[in-house]
Structure 1
């Protein structure tokens, strides 16, 4: 067995998404990488050239050529793989992921079996699913520890997401068999991994219930820090001038709606899982009731065009825009009375927490949370906003109509931003990942505690590596809750 010292711990990340792309997976590792490096971990990355979400190469640069080794902005070693241009269709994107995974295996075997680069830990992060299979091959070939990082509740999302949907035709039967195979293969890799990393307590418990013993919880983080203008427009300081057309309402800040529509913002991925059709229908219902609302949806995704058609068909007061640069997110949130966080009514999504939720909570804005499960519990218990049952357009319209009728918004508790600072801080999350690497590199110190990561996930923690689960949010009532679905209730 190879010995290692803290100075030569080597981690190889196999991923389909990496900087300079933008998105939650990219942001996660852009935050973790410098903290791992600062702790003495040598980080290498196998990733395709930046081509998300358009499916085409951002720009033709030398360091993006397949097999080219370059240094990332944090000093990490990056090897770019081959990729396949793709459309927004599932089949096209899946083929791209398969091509990237195969290229990762070929390049990884050629480059990272060299003694000077051989990793101690290989991390395969999902999405996409093929990346975890490529990581498993490379971990076995290099005799490294294998870590599966599940950002979402795979393989459980395969069926509700309609992947490999079965039917009566021969093609449909083949797809049904493929779905079963992928489900079993992902579950088997999770069980055989040296450790599985999840981003939520709930999914960690689900995996532990299936016999996956080594589970660590490292949440997604956020770097969002409210500026002076954010604090002013949130009612915690002097409101902006009434002459400012994008500022809050006069004579009382954002808590009094005066002679203008309720402003609702959504910034993020516009896909099937976000169920923004419910939001469009709720906005149309508001107009039917004579309640003024202005909904702005900004971001990329496969559902943008269909939502635009739906809004036009229903006459909904909804406008759409492309991705908002990070520096403009503050302005969008200041414009909004409430910021949407939305997920579809699928049971596996009750085990996830959108990374966008932490950003909105940190901003101090009122959250309209169309979510269930752990995400709903966090919003309700910290007083971050109002929870509405996913998929219930009438309930969402009722909640918004009530605010317009009353001319007031619910107060946001300072506990919401405080919870994010305590539980989604990048420095703390980086420390947890370093502890995970240390734990994997020193198995003899943990031989008597095979379930120490499981203990960390349930809050008791491991006394040796100090890996601790993110604490549950405090039990307290939210100031305004439309409805909260119990986390264990089935949505099937």
Structure 2
């Protein structure tokens, strides 16, 4: 089968979308399928070109280590604002559609086209390419689109976790801050438009059961869940010791967060929780490893509150294990926006694979997974008091840091080879009617 994938994110960038498609691509290629990928020159997360090598330049064609053939499109540099990122995604999508029509017509036509979202402009671009080439289109929705747009007013202002010590997790340069009133009213038309586009696809891929059910209730008949995943074999970690002592001799709890430091993670609440846990007498250290649109804000909040928090930059994949080994518990955090209840962060799968205890400040399906896997504790999202109380209890009694059954849950519900099989089955269904 010849597969054409349009996506805004690809290696050597690092992140959840890039990691997901590396193992999916490798699995599909190993099974004999041809995969061509239209994706921008690598520029995430900073918005500037990561590598000036000619093999990454717009228009370049190379085969990467996954076995896929990568066709690089143009991109638009951007800063921290939402508007610049949207313009970048739109430009890359348009250029991807142009390259697709120029390079994949005639005898080179694919059997199926996949559009992976976000970025959101990739969806209409994939539909246009599929229509022009007369090929079925699969829309892959890695987040709850368009439901997440219903929370866009939070992107520009205070969000959960402000509590007693303050700390909004919004972006003053977000949509709500710069958009004129007429444009904000027009934005209300975007969610129904996205739903119309999703219905035009021959199939839709969701990453969670809860969002898949929501899509079916909107009349989408062919919806398949292809979960994110992680390989337990990649993580061989020593068990956390029965006691860790801080510099003052008190037992210490070590908490790590690894991943995107963006709007939807709501990490200001975790910073506040660390402060509140110390006020309860706990000795605690919170390590945040990653980059994103809210990194500077979270760092400033931690400094202002005098929080026991250290911020470290994004690390290479091979260096991630040492941070998990350092930690007693892994923080998985989301905002309390309605769409987040249908979201399972990709980092949750990685945390399950490590076997480490998980501190889940999440709701909905993510919370259900942590509970069903007996993988740790769950508190309501954006509730610093509840998270602080849970951490203080763990610091006082480390018997709660029991071995997680996360690896067994992954083996039963989200093995990578099983997810590749599910994708392969879906692609066969749409190509054969």
Partner of 1:216: 224
Cα drift, residue 403 of structure 1: 1.8
Map residues 79-478 of structure 1 onto 2, 5 A cutoff: 79-115=71-107, 117-162=108-153, 171-177=180-186, 179-225=187-233, 227-228=235-236, 230=237, 232-234=238-240, 248-249=241-242, 259-414=250-405, 416-443=406-433
Report deviation, 1:224: 4.2
Note if 1:78 corresponds to 2:70.
Answer: yes
Deviation at 1:407, TM superposition (A): 4.5
How big is each residue's C-alpha offset from its partner over 1:28-61, in whole Å with a ceiling of 9 and x where there is no partner? Answer: 1110112111222211000001110011111111
Other-structure match for 1:28 = 20
**Preserved contact between residue 264 and residue 296 of structure 1 (Cα < 8 Å):** yes
CA distance in 1, matches of 2:147, 2:132: 28
- 8 A contact 1:48–1:80 mirrored in 2: yes
Query: Residue deviations 1:188-243, cap 9 Å, x none?
Result: 11111100000010000000011111100100111342655x1x315xxxxxxxxx
| Structure 1: 5+ residue stretches without partners | 1-8, 235-247, 444-492
CA distance in 1, matches of 2:377, 2:149: 29
Match of 1:74, SS?
coil
Alignment equivalent of 1:63, drawn from 55, 59, 71: 55
What is the CA–CA distance in structure 2 between the aligned matches of 1:227 and 1:57, rounded to whole Å? 31
Residue aligned with 1:274, SS? coil
Computed over aligned residues only, the root mean square deviation of the Cα atoms, in angstroms, reads 2.0
CA contact (8 A) 1:362 1:421 kept: no
Q: Distance in 1 between matches of 2:323 and 2:3?
A: 37
Mapped to 2, the partners of 1:168 and 1:224 lie a distance apart of 43
Aligned length: 412
1:307 alignment partner, SS class = helix
- When residues 224 and 19 of structure 1 are mapped into structure 2, their CA distance, relative to the original with a 3 A threshold, is farther
Q: Is the 8 A contact 1:85 1:96 kept in 2?
A: yes
Cα pair 1:167 1:176 within 8 Å, conserved: no
Which portions of structure 1, spanning 4 or more consecutive aligned residues, are displaced by more than 6 angstroms?
Answer: 163-170
**TM-score scaled to structure 2, two decimals?**
0.91
Question: Per-residue displacement from partner, 1:359-401 (whole Å, max 9, x unpaired)?
Answer: 1111110000000000101111120000010010001111111
CA distance in 1 between partners of 2:391 and 2:230 (Å): 27
Question: What secondary structure does 2:198 align onto?
Answer: helix
Is there any run of 5+ residues in structure 2 with no aligned partner, and where? 157-173
Change (3 A) 1:432 1:279: same
* 1:69 shift after superposition: 1.9
Contact 1:16 1:128 in 2 (8 A): yes
Cα deviation, residue 72, structure 1:
1.9
Equivalent position SS for 1:278 = helix
Report the Cα distance in structure 2 between the residues aligned to 1:280 and 1:151, rounded to whole angstroms.
27
Give the superposition deviation at 1:169: 9.9
TM-score by length of 1: 0.80
Separation in 1, partners of 2:275, 2:306:
6
Cα distance between partner residues in 1 of 2:208 and 2:295: 28
Q: Is the 8 A contact 2:83 2:175 kept in 1?
A: no
Aligned to 2:167: none
Return the index of the structure with the highest Cα Rg: 1
Counterpart Cα distance in 2 of 1:421 and 1:169: 46
Task: Note the C-alpha offset of 1:157.
Answer: 0.6
The Cα shift of 1:112 comes to 1.1
